[in-house]
Structures are given as structure tokens and as C-alpha cells.
Structure 1
Amino acid sequence: MRQKYPQKRQSSNSRGNRYVKRPQRKASNSTQWQAQTDRVRTLVYQVLLAVETRESYANLLLPPRLTRAQIGGRDAGFATELTYGTLRCQGYYDWIIEQCSSRPVAALEKPLLVILRMGLHQLLNMRVPTHAAVNESVNLAKQEVNQGAAGLVNGVLRGALRLGEDELQRRLNSLSPTARLARRYSHPAWIIAAYRAALSEHQKLGAEIPADDASLEALLAANNRPPYINLVARPGLIEREDLADRVEESEQDVAYSTLSPWGLIVSGGDPADLEAVINGQAAVEDQGSQLIAGLAAEYPLSGRDKIWLDLCAGPGGKTALMAALGRERGAKVFANEISPHRAKLVEDSVKALDNVEVVCKDGTDFPSREGGFDRVLVDAPCTGLGALRRHPESRYRSRNETIPEITALQARLLGRALDVCREGGLVIYATCSPHPAETTFLVERVLKERGDGQLLDLKVAIGQLIAADTWPSGLGCADKYLQLWPHIHSSDAMFAVLIAKNRKGV
């Protein structure tokens, strides 16, 4: 069952803004609804097979295919849950398949494996009647594989039903603690170890978060729940209240973000249909990402404050919010992206703004500017371990062995950001990963080696944007290290630090 909206208490911040929880509409009481079976399930099967065999991404494949097939409403909702839910729980379903089949998962044909996972998700985590989940999975196997595959699908799904929840749990409990978590929550063991280390590290640094086994399990469970849609109202283009009214006109529930004074949390629907999103006044953006962009633009800075740089700008969400905030103060943002394709995404994201220049260069060798940049954001490429709710397939593709290569790139990007920032300017380093190797350890190492950067206090800066008592479950932030968590803040596990650029040796 999905968590409730973050409970928003009336509060105020230093700007005098009031944050009041908006009324919410009653949820639908529909039960045991069945989709247009063959058409919807066939489309989901095709998407999941492409994800499995071609390393495609579901978020890039599913929406346009639903549009082309003219599948909307509840059928589209069914397809979305079946696609992403199957991916999130894939590791658990593979373990169940091995409990119910004489053939190991590695020996199963990919089309057959995809159909089995889909069937198990309908049986165990969706309100689909048992006979429909089994029969439609069997029919899909006949259609896409062969009669023999249909028999195996029938046997495995009915075998899972016979085992039942209690027996499956008993077998899970017989495993080692890490193996149990890895199977039950579909996370590779190395990611679990990285999360455990990150929780412990931030608690040691003073973050007001639990770091015990229960917290780790809550984090893994949060990664397997579908996130609510987060919208940002870009300042100067649309007021948050106006955006909320437009969302409610589309018959969706809406609440104010707990982490961003520009954010909304929306219950569902397709935000791409909103006129404000189409014309670039608003966008879909995680509330944690909004907070980091806000810190990058709003942290007090002495001296000139007109020339800003986003060193790794794609796809452009943070760039656009920074630029909207800077536009009110006469700032210009240079948005750099090494990939031409992603640079075009940045151009589309900032189309409603006239103070952004998109460039396409290697961030590790970005050219210096006379006088330097006043603010430099480095939203560095990373493992993506903080966004597994939104990109569930990433957990099965990321490899621990790539960490040294990734952190070497991150260090070069952070170093170049410090190079091109003026003395007295501000560098913001951020990742969508809580892995200590990509966050605290890397920042401390780079600053120690260079000697020209000083970490700034974050709590004061955050307090200028949001009243502390609106944060769920406490601030969850060390003095100089921001680390957000899905199970605590209902956001991606974003990390950020603010760095004052000093003269070397000062």
C-alpha cells in the first residue's frame, strides 16, 4: 500500500510564505478491476522484453507505446503498475520461480521469464483475480512462446499459490540476513552494503536519522513503492498556487511539497497533458532535486552574482529552476552538457526562459572565463542508486566494479568546477546516489588534495527555504552534508554539499 502524502503543517519561513496542506479528494474505492487483457498485457510484455534483452528503459518505452496504442485511463494505469511493479520486484520473483521450477532462472528463455515475472506480480501485488492472472499469463505464453511454455507458466504460478505467503517467508528467513534482504526486496547485495554504509556514515556525521537494520529495510521497501508525481512551479513563470489549481482541474489530488517552496505532490494522471508543463512554466521534478537547485541559486553570496554555470546540465530540470530563480536577479546561466542528445533535452527544459545559454562541451575540460563563474553546479554522473524507485531496471545493471571509474570522473568534474569558479564564489556538488564513495569520501578527498574549497553549513541555508518543522521525521541532514532518503523524505536519495571557493592554502 502506498504511503500517504507527506503531512503538511501550517508553517512559515524567513520569506513569510505560508505552507498549508491542500485539501485532498477521496481515493477511488474500485476493487478487482481487470484490464483489456490481451492488448494491455501484450504491450507490457513487449516493453519488459526490450528492457530485459536490449537494456532499454521502461520510462522511455512505455508512455509513447501507450499513446500510439490509444490506451488511456485505467488501462494505462494497469499497464504502468504491471511494468514498473514487475521490474521493482524482479529479483524476488526470480527467487520464487526457482522455488517452483526444476529449471534454474538462468536456463529459462527470456520471453518465458518475462511472462512468469508478470504473472507473479499480478498474483502477489495487484488486485487481479487469481484465475485471471494465471489464465492470461498462460494465454500470453501460448501467443508469444509456445504450448510447452504455457504449461510451465501454469505450473510455476500455481506452485507459487500452493506454497503461499507463509511458506515463502519461512524459506526467506532461512537465508542469511543479506541474502534475505536481497531476495525479498530485489536489490543486489552490493547495493544493500552501500546503503548500510551510507546510513551509518551520515549518522556519524550528525544526521538525525536511524541507521539500524529496520531503517535499512524501510529504505529497500521504499525503493519498491511507486513514487508520487512531483511538479515544480518555476518562479516568475507560474505561481505554485496557480499550478495547484490547474492540477485540481484535472481531477487529481495535490499537496504542497515538504522539501521545496516551489513544489507540488500529485496523486496521478499524466502531467505531460498540463498546459503549464507543455509550455515550460512547470515541470516534473523530484522534490529533492528542487531543493538542491534552490540551494544552488539562493545561498547568500558576497560580491558579483550574475554569471552561473551548470556543468552537467542534462536533462535540464535543475538548470531551469536555477535559471528561473536567477532571472529575477539578473543572472545568466550557462548550461553545459557533453551529450548532444541530452543538450537538446536541456534546451527543451529551458525554452520558457531567456537567460540560459546551452553549450555542449566536456565538463572535465570546460573553458575558463575571465573573472570566473559566480556559482557552479556539478550534478555529477553517478551510479543512480538514489533513483531506483523511478528507474528500477538500474539496480540490475549497475556494477560495483564500475565505482572507481565513476568516482574518478566525479573527482575531475568537481576539480574543474573549482577551477572555473571565482574566488569567493560557490560550488555545489550533487549526486543522485548515497554511496559514500561518490559523496562524502570523494568530496573530502578532493578538497584535501586541492586546498581551495571549504564546506559551508547547510542547515542555515535550508532554513531560509523551508521551516525545519515541515521536514518529515526530522531534518535528516548533517551540518555540511545533505543526504535525502526515500523512506524518510519521500524523495530520491539525493546528496549535496555547498563549497566556498577560496585561494589555495587559505
Structure 2
Amino acid sequence: MTVSPARRAAYDALLQVETQEAFANLALAAAVAEHGLDAQQAATATELVNGTARLMGTYDRIIARAARRELSTLEPAVVTVLRLSTHEQLSMRTPVHAAVDEAVNLGRIAVGHRVTGVINAIARKVGINDLSGWVQALSADEDELSALGTRTHHPRWIADVYDYLLGDDAEAGLLANNTPAVPTLVVRPGLVERDELSEPGLEPTPYSPFGFRRPGNPGGLKEVRQGRAGVQDEGSQLMAWLLALAPTTEEIADLGWLDLCAGPGGKAALLAGLARQRGGWLLASEKAPHRAELVRKAMARYPDRWQVITADGLAPAWQPRSFARVMADVPCTGIGSLRRRSESRWRRTEEQLEELVALQAGLLAQAWAATAEGGVLAYVTCSPHPLETVEQVQAFLDTHPEAELLDAPALLPDVPEAAHPDEPLMVQLWPHRHGTDAMFGALLRRGPST
């Protein structure tokens, strides 16, 4: 009995996601390298891993119902095999008998002969229905929000957020998270301009003047290999562009820019280029040493006018009011980037919000302390959750009368429907409307202290 290298690599990656809380993209990259997959095999493994991880919560409910037992009663390795088989049967349209045979072979080789019987029985029962039929059965007795989550393959609490903000458009917004994003790249200002790129297949981003989309491996583009371009979602590019466009006073023009939570470095590299074009410089701060190293690599092609430090944003390593422009792209639930982070919708929970919101408030306070009078702070998240976005900023404004909320959407006139539904001076982007992550951004300018 043999198992295809792509399927074995996918199994190894997903088992790490399940048992070690690994990130799917990193586990997949390691498995592809370990098994020496060619381009076609790697593409198959990518679909198996990302597709399975993206619908994992739905698949787990289907498997549990087919097995008539809780998944906790099965070994993690067996659950991983069954998830892969469920994805192949219900989303890849692999014939049931073929998917079951492959699951049994994989279980025998990866786990042992003793589990083949249970894998065979459960996988066959999964195949008695198609995905839409299973979804209909799972949602039959659910309330409206739970059914919305089931139909779109999201936990109820995420469906609730989208329903609150988007109303009748919520289902379209949630479904957009299930379509993998085409890799979006960004030029490094001052190193290469977008109109200099001539490779076939490049599609300029509609809103960011620095971005372009390119299917396939980003490393296939020589500008990426050279460090003159990098990978960055268009929404993230627009948040950096917002900070650069925001008006500041002339008196602080010679002050530097600060990226408070700079890892992994895409936004910092774009800010470094924008600062250099204006005669400025950038300090990029990152708490985690390995992420700080990624920031250094992202900016390495710039010869000067930047520095990376390993420092905690809650314990500043700089003097107060030292920067003309400050980027606070704070840690968040990440529910705005679900297209690219396939497993995160099932890993994040609503219970984690309280701790994250407290961290965000602390980082926002320190970012503000670093902002000079007349300077601007950009508060950014890759989450649309009100507690992490509008309510966080409004709570800050209530206690800081010297802070002026700028009209951020007005700085992006070519981006339609960019205003947040609850606060028209803040920006909220959406995958189904803008083709970006659901990025949030607010601009705060420091006025004279009272």
C-alpha cells in the first residue's frame, strides 16, 4: 500500500496544526520541503491543507454525526485522516470509493492497521451526502445566526460580527473568506516602481499605487528574490499609505516615523520607503526576536535611514513625543484575514477578546505617548470586531481631549465604501467589496495639550 507524497505531506502538516497548534502555512511549507514535492504535488498538498483547515469546524461536525460519537474519543491522527477524506469527498469531488480507499491506506501507513476499520466505516458514512446536504442537516434546528455560520463555515461569534456590521451583505462577506486570496505583492518605494514591472500575468491593485497581484509562488518574481518587492495584502498597503498621507505640522517634519509592532515586516518596509522619499527615517520595533529578524530582512535593501530594535511596545525604548508618524498595527483576533489564514477561524475564540482588547489599549496608549504634537497615529487591526476597532478608538478619544480624529476615508477617495458603518471617519475594508483583508484603520492627530 502506498500514499501519494502530496497526501502524506498534507497529513503531516494538518497533524501539526491539530496537535502542536502550528500555523497551517508554515507547517505546509515544512512538509512540502521534507517530502520533496514538485510544483504539481505542492499545489495538491496546498489545496488539501488549506481547504481542510478552512472548513475544519464544519467537517468535524459532519464526522461526529457520521461516527455518532464525539471527536475527542478518536485519536488526533485518526481525526486528521478523516478530515482529509471529508474534504476530498465533499469539496474536491473525489469519488467516495477512491477517497475512502486513500484514507484507509493513509491510516494504515501513518497510524497503524488497527485504525483502518474505524476510518473505513466513518469515511463511508461521510460520503452518503454531499456538502450542501450535510450543511442543511446541521443547520436544520439552529437559530438564524448559527445557521448563517454553518452555511458559510464560520463559528457563530464571527457570523454575529459580520451580521452586525454588514446586515444583508453579511453572507457575501463571510463567503468571501472561503475564497483563497491571490498573492498580492508590493514594490519597495525607491527601489523599484510598479510601472517598471513587465512580467506577464501581473495585475495592478485597483486602490494601492504600490501593489500588484500575481498568481503562483511570489518567489518566482526576480524583484521579490532581490528584496525590491515583497508580499503584502492590498489592505495592509492602504493602511501604511493612510499614515503617509495624513497631514502633520511642518514643525515636526524632521522627526522620524515609528512602527510599534513591526513584525513580520511588510508594512515596515513600505513605511521605510515612504519615509525615505520624504527625507525621513523609520524605527521599527518588534517584541519577538525571530519576527524582528524578519523585519530586518524585509528592509535590508534600503541602505540607511531605518533601524530595527527588539523591544516591547508596552515598555518603550524611546523618548515620549519623538515621532511625527506612528503606526500601531496591533495584535488582534485576525478575523479580517481569514482568506489567508485558513485555520484561524477555528483557533480564535470570543473568550480571547478580553485579553486582546486590554493589550490593544495598552499599545494604543504607548503609541500615542510616542506621537509628537502635530503628529499622527494610525491605529490598525486586521479584524472588524467592534471591540477591537471603533469601540477601542472611541474609548481612547473619551479620555484624550487632545486627540483629533481625522477623516481617514477622505484620504482614500478612490476606494468605494471605505467608511466604517458605525463611524464614517474611520476606514473598514472588506474582502467581498475591495478584494482585500477586512482591515480597519483610524487616524488620530495630537493637538496641543490641555
- The TM-score, its normalising length taken from structure 2, stands at 0.93
* Runs of 5+ unmatched residues, structure 1: 1-35, 200-210
In structure 2, the CA distance between the partners of 1:495 and 1:52, relative to structure 1 (3 Å rule), is: same
Secondary structure of 1:313's counterpart equals: coil
What per-residue deviation string (whole Å, max 9, x for no partner) do you get for residues 227-266 of structure 1?
11000011211121333x23x2xxxx33211231111112
One-letter code aligned to 2:45: A
Who is 1:337 aligned against?
286
In structure 2, the CA distance between the partners of 1:328 and 1:498, relative to structure 1 (3 Å rule), is: same
What per-residue deviation string (whole Å, max 9, x for no partner) do you get for residues 188-237 of structure 1?
2222223333x1xxxxxxxxxxx22x422222222222111000011211
Who is 2:175 aligned against?
221
In structure 2, the CA distance between the partners of 1:169 and 1:319, relative to structure 1 (3 Å rule), is: closer
1:487 equivalenced with 2:428 (yes/no) = no
217, 223, 227: which one aligns with 1:276: 223
1:257 equivalenced with 2:205 (yes/no) = yes
With 343-352 and 257-266 compared, the bigger mean Cα shift is at 257-266
Secondary structure of 1:385's counterpart equals: coil
Secondary structure of 2:336's counterpart equals: helix
With 376-385 and 281-290 compared, the bigger mean Cα shift is at 376-385
Who is 2:247 aligned against?
300
In structure 2, the CA distance between the partners of 1:104 and 1:127, relative to structure 1 (3 Å rule), is: same
Question: How many angstroms does 1:404 deviate by?
Answer: 1.9
In structure 2, the CA distance between the partners of 1:387 and 1:164, relative to structure 1 (3 Å rule), is: closer
307, 328, 333: which one aligns with 1:383: 333
With 474-483 and 253-262 compared, the bigger mean Cα shift is at 474-483
- The TM-score, its normalising length taken from structure 1, stands at 0.83
What per-residue deviation string (whole Å, max 9, x for no partner) do you get for residues 372-394 of structure 1?
21111111111111112222222
1:181 equivalenced with 2:112 (yes/no) = no
Paired positions, count: 443
Question: How many angstroms does 1:125 deviate by?
Answer: 1.2
- Once residues 354 and 23 of structure 2 are traced to their aligned partners in structure 1, the CA distance between those partners, rounded to angstroms, is 25
- Once residues 170 and 459 of structure 1 are traced to their aligned partners in structure 2, the CA distance between those partners, rounded to angstroms, is 40
Give the conservation status (yes or no) of the 8 Å contact 1:376–1:428. yes
189, 195, 211: which one aligns with 1:235: 189
1:436 equivalenced with 2:386 (yes/no) = yes
Who is 2:129 aligned against?
163
Who is 2:348 aligned against?
398
In structure 2, the CA distance between the partners of 1:360 and 1:173, relative to structure 1 (3 Å rule), is: closer
Who is 2:238 aligned against?
291
Identity rate, percent: 39
Question: How many angstroms does 1:341 deviate by?
Answer: 1.4
Give the conservation status (yes or no) of the 8 Å contact 2:224–2:230. yes
In structure 2, the CA distance between the partners of 1:408 and 1:363, relative to structure 1 (3 Å rule), is: same
1:417 equivalenced with 2:367 (yes/no) = yes
One-letter code aligned to 1:341: H
Secondary structure of 2:36's counterpart equals: coil
Who is 2:21 aligned against?
55
- Once residues 62 and 126 of structure 1 are traced to their aligned partners in structure 2, the CA distance between those partners, rounded to angstroms, is 19
Question: How many angstroms does 1:182 deviate by?
Answer: 3.3
Give the conservation status (yes or no) of the 8 Å contact 1:38–1:140. no
**C-alpha RMSD of matched pairs (Å):** 2.0
Matches within 5 A, 1:55-134: 55-134=21-100
Question: How many angstroms does 1:89 deviate by?
Answer: 0.5
* Runs of 5+ unmatched residues, structure 2: none
Give the conservation status (yes or no) of the 8 Å contact 2:64–2:70. yes
Give the number of the structure with larger relative contact order, counting CA–CA contacts within 8 Å between residues 6 or more apart.
1
Give the conservation status (yes or no) of the 8 Å contact 2:96–2:124. no
What per-residue deviation string (whole Å, max 9, x for no partner) do you get for residues 164-184 of structure 1?
456424413412123323334
Give the conservation status (yes or no) of the 8 Å contact 1:92–1:184. no
One-letter code aligned to 1:286: D
Secondary structure of 1:369's counterpart equals: coil
Who is 2:10 aligned against?
44
In structure 2, the CA distance between the partners of 1:371 and 1:409, relative to structure 1 (3 Å rule), is: closer
Secondary structure of 1:480's counterpart equals: coil
- Once residues 330 and 95 of structure 2 are traced to their aligned partners in structure 1, the CA distance between those partners, rounded to angstroms, is 45
With 223-232 and 365-374 compared, the bigger mean Cα shift is at 365-374
Secondary structure of 2:278's counterpart equals: coil
- Once residues 346 and 374 of structure 1 are traced to their aligned partners in structure 2, the CA distance between those partners, rounded to angstroms, is 21
What per-residue deviation string (whole Å, max 9, x for no partner) do you get for residues 120-169 of structure 1?
11111115344432211111011122334222222223222223456424
Secondary structure of 1:365's counterpart equals: coil
- Once residues 181 and 138 of structure 1 are traced to their aligned partners in structure 2, the CA distance between those partners, rounded to angstroms, is 33
Question: How many angstroms does 1:311 deviate by?
Answer: 0.9
Who is 2:159 aligned against?
192
Give the conservation status (yes or no) of the 8 Å contact 1:335–1:359. yes
Secondary structure of 2:181's counterpart equals: coil
- Once residues 146 and 72 of structure 2 are traced to their aligned partners in structure 1, the CA distance between those partners, rounded to angstroms, is 18
- Once residues 64 and 170 of structure 1 are traced to their aligned partners in structure 2, the CA distance between those partners, rounded to angstroms, is 37
What per-residue deviation string (whole Å, max 9, x for no partner) do you get for residues 452-504 of structure 1?
211101232112xxx34xx4xx4454531111112222211111001111123
Give the conservation status (yes or no) of the 8 Å contact 1:95–1:183. no
Give the conservation status (yes or no) of the 8 Å contact 2:3–2:106. no
Question: How many angstroms does 1:270 deviate by?
Answer: 1.0
Question: How many angstroms does 1:323 deviate by?
Answer: 1.0
Give the conservation status (yes or no) of the 8 Å contact 1:172–1:184. no
Runs of 4+ in 1 over 6 A off after TM superposition: none
Secondary structure of 2:128's counterpart equals: helix
Question: How many angstroms does 1:115 deviate by?
Answer: 0.7
What per-residue deviation string (whole Å, max 9, x for no partner) do you get for residues 407-449 of structure 1?
1111111111111211111111001111111110011111211
Give the conservation status (yes or no) of the 8 Å contact 1:91–1:185. no
